[in-house]
Amino acid sequence: MSGNFGDLRELYQEVIFDHNRNPRNFHEMADANRSAEGYNPLCGDQLTVYLKVDGDVVADASFVGHGCAISTASASLMTEAVKGQPVDQVESLFKDMHAMLTESHPEGRDFGKLEVLSGVREFPARVKCATLAWHTLHNAIASARDVAQTE
Ligand code: ZN
């Protein structure tokens, strides 16, 4: 293994530790119009994602919950990445993130800071920790298409 690879891993871990210690957008959202809950029984990770969808744009995103460092960091990085993005781009990011975390890096996609999560591919037991926030995000967006809300 090259020294550069080691440095990169260290940097990735730094970012994950930082987002776990100080999760961004970690709060309930009183004026959210979409939300979904996610649970990863393999690890016990539990989170709720809140979105404020304004027209075709995810105007705001936040989450609450508890879980391991990977699940918290993934949710924190996710809320940062999707805030202010068009819904269709968020959905496309969900698909590419899922591919990146479970299979391989989709060609031509620059994940920016989200790249730090790619390391979980080496640890199959942790993949669901990283994908949980994204599945929950996807479910929250899907709920945006429901015209009828019962609550
Ligand atoms: Zn976990």
Distance from the alpha carbon of residue 130 to the mean position of ligand 1, in angstroms: 7
**Percent of the residues in the chain that have a pLDDT greater than 70, as a whole number:** 90
Which band of pLDDT confidence, cut at 50, 70 and 90, is reported for residue 2?
A: very low
Which band of pLDDT confidence, cut at 50, 70 and 90, is reported for residue 149?
A: very low
Report the distance separating Cα 35 and Cα 62, nearest Å: 9
Distance from the alpha carbon of residue 121 to the mean position of ligand 1, in angstroms: 14
**H or E segment at 85?**
strand 85-86
Q: Is the pTM of this model over 0.95?
A: no
Domains of the chain: 2-149 (3.90.1010.10)
135: closest CA among 39, 63, 20? 39
Distance from the alpha carbon of residue 89 to the mean position of ligand 1, in angstroms: 26
pLDDT tens-place string over residues 3-15: 455 677 787 889 9
Distance from the alpha carbon of residue 38 to the mean position of ligand 1, in angstroms: 12
- Residue 58: pLDDT over 90: yes
Distance from the alpha carbon of residue 125 to the mean position of ligand 1, in angstroms: 9
Distance from the alpha carbon of residue 62 to the mean position of ligand 1, in angstroms: 19
